[in-house]
Structure 1
């Protein structure tokens, strides 16, 4: 079997580390059998070479293998809404807010997230500030998904093997393959996903990795203004996987009746500001924050197969906020996370 040194040599020569070899190398990294120096060299080498779909798929398979799973029995309409982060836009937690709206409109959301790495407020940070207990056991999360339609999986609790990688990632301070693996490894095995990515090349790469990993319905999105969400400030590139087929196209905010608007209006400095903006959306306060959540929650409902188009999803989302159902979901999740 390939050694870490041989794999490193391969990356330096800009050659691929093949699927079975990559499985072996990532298992060595995850089990702590790979020294920090070698680990740093390998993940930097892969990044410089540019990770292939095969390498990413193999690494995601290993991460799924060693993760702590959430035992969800019925995965109908189950969706993850997740971004790779690292888009540098410092916006409020759009995907977290969209989660409440999508759940109120009929999807089940198993959201997989962590604390802020590069943003001002990670999904775990803002949920904690809203009073949600983010440290539930896998069985409790499964019950929360069943009862409330939302389960939040705090990434460090589900990826204990990442403790070997965390100090190396932190010290390197660059984006590595692990930034793009997190969103591919939903511990509840959600068959559907709305995934935002931080680079246009990742749209085609991640949607093909999801295809190989057996995802049913996926939308991988990149806002051309640099956002890892469906954007109001520019067209959004989409890679959609449905019924085994991949389509690539663009979404435009004006197609859904939204005014184009710069993401500057969505920026926050602290989790408190993010919380205030999120609550404003759930209170149906008009403005770009509400519009971008309607657009992303609408896409999540489409990805979850609750509706048959993003436009229909936007309408369902609008109704869920206007009726107060989305805000009620937040209260329900806070209650359930304290009692399940």
Structure 2
């Protein structure tokens, strides 16, 4: 048993009247003790449920992110014309609506904007379809690659995926606690704001509840994160809704100053208002995505253009939102997004094969 962790647990688990917030350093220490399993299972479970009831502060979230930075993996920087986009999407997946981020990723990468994704396998308590399964259906199996191999794919294609079970087992080892306590622990929030990229990036974080965004802004301010976007997206993801107003927060540097702007996007103003595309069984989902990549005009293709246009604009590759929509549609209809998928599939298959492993060793050493 960790006596140090017991003292931290006592602070957050003493009830509504006597519990205390942790300092940033204490939160980082508690997170390290849990990730490294120096705290006992009883202590870890107790902390998760107590901290969920108390609710983490921005300072605590900053400390937890500090620990993730210290112990977690990162993809190294690559040369690009724009800041890479890192998408923070709930690890427990989707259960109601079709995830559009894989299509958005291909469109952005085809336009020259690198994209870093991260996540794991099916995860409690939601057990929705995770991104990695969508990519597997598209022919890209990130689960087989080491971090070094993922880095090689990222450098070649501008798309990378940090897969928790392989690349960050310390964090993946805490996943069973989610099922045992029956609730999302604070780590589910940390994952939305974690940046597993070594250089400067544009961090996109999905959220559902407004207090989550407030925590993010506070934590980012403490950690010096100046370029980020928060999205009240579909099922907490970075996918912009089409059946309601999009609530987006944009933090950027203007004349050396960090500024935050609230943006309300009304899909109807741009001709994209519609009901959300429901989640389909995987074979049908794959067929729908393939149709989009072949230039088909479907509701899913409109969702892909709506989202990609926004992110092309915010990445700086397009001067305004309307130009973003035009470029996104062009990348689909001309087959360039489909070409990016073929390039990505080939890169993963080659690097994961015997020949690819030899090539990888040559390129690394």
TM-score of the superposed pair, with normalisation by structure 2: 0.84
Q: CA deviation at 1:106?
A: 2.0
Instruction: Provide, for residues 27-75 of structure 1, a one-character-per-residue CA deviation record: whole Å limited to 9, x for no partner.
Output: 1111101122221221212212221111111101101210122222436
Pick aligned residue for 1:213 from 223, 230, 234: 223
Instruction: Provide, for residues 289-327 of structure 1, a one-character-per-residue CA deviation record: whole Å limited to 9, x for no partner.
Output: 112211222233234332344433222211111111011
Task: List alignment gaps of at least 5 residues for structure 2.
Answer: 352-365
Instruction: Provide, for residues 88-127 of structure 1, a one-character-per-residue CA deviation record: whole Å limited to 9, x for no partner.
Output: 6522221122101111122111121222333542111111
Q: CA deviation at 1:226?
A: 5.5
Q: CA deviation at 1:211?
A: 4.0
Q: CA deviation at 1:11?
A: 6.2
Pick aligned residue for 2:250 from 223, 240, 264: 240
Q: Does 1:249 align with 2:253?
A: no
- 1:35 and 1:4, CA in 2 relative to 1: closer, same or farther beyond 3 A? farther
Matches within 5 A, 1:187-202: 187-189=196-198, 191-202=201-212
Q: 1:326 and 1:137 mapped to 2: Cα distance?
A: 25
User: Does the 8 Å contact 1:85/1:198 carry over to 2?
Assistant: no
User: Does the 8 Å contact 2:12/2:54 carry over to 1?
Assistant: no
Secondary structure of 2:232 counterpart = strand
- 1:10 and 1:301, CA in 2 relative to 1: closer, same or farther beyond 3 A? farther
Which has the larger Rg? 2
- 1:311 and 1:16, CA in 2 relative to 1: closer, same or farther beyond 3 A? farther
Residue of structure 2 equivalent to 1:179: 188
Q: CA deviation at 1:23?
A: 1.2
Q: 1:41 and 1:185 mapped to 2: Cα distance?
A: 23
Pick aligned residue for 2:9 from 5, 8, 17: 5
Task: List alignment gaps of at least 5 residues for structure 1.
Answer: none
Residue of structure 2 equivalent to 1:290: 301
Q: CA deviation at 1:236?
A: 1.5
Residue of structure 1 equivalent to 2:69: 64
Give every structure 1 segment of 4 or more consecutive aligned residues whose post-TM-superposition deviation is greater than 6 Å. none
User: Does the 8 Å contact 2:108/2:308 carry over to 1?
Assistant: yes
Pick aligned residue for 1:321 from 332, 344, 347: 332
| RMSD between aligned residues | 2.4
- 1:308 and 1:65, CA in 2 relative to 1: closer, same or farther beyond 3 A? farther
Task: Count matched residues.
Answer: 336
Residue of structure 2 equivalent to 1:262: 275
User: Does the 8 Å contact 1:79/1:110 carry over to 2?
Assistant: yes
Residue of structure 1 equivalent to 2:150: 141
Q: 2:94 and 2:147 mapped to 1: Cα distance?
A: 31
Between stretches 235-244 and 162-171, larger displacement belongs to: 162-171
Between stretches 306-315 and 142-151, larger displacement belongs to: 306-315
- 1:276 and 1:198, CA in 2 relative to 1: closer, same or farther beyond 3 A? farther
Q: 1:113 and 1:97 mapped to 2: Cα distance?
A: 17
Residue of structure 1 equivalent to 2:354: none
Q: CA deviation at 1:330?
A: 0.7
TM-score of the superposed pair, with normalisation by structure 1: 0.89
Q: 1:309 and 1:157 mapped to 2: Cα distance?
A: 39
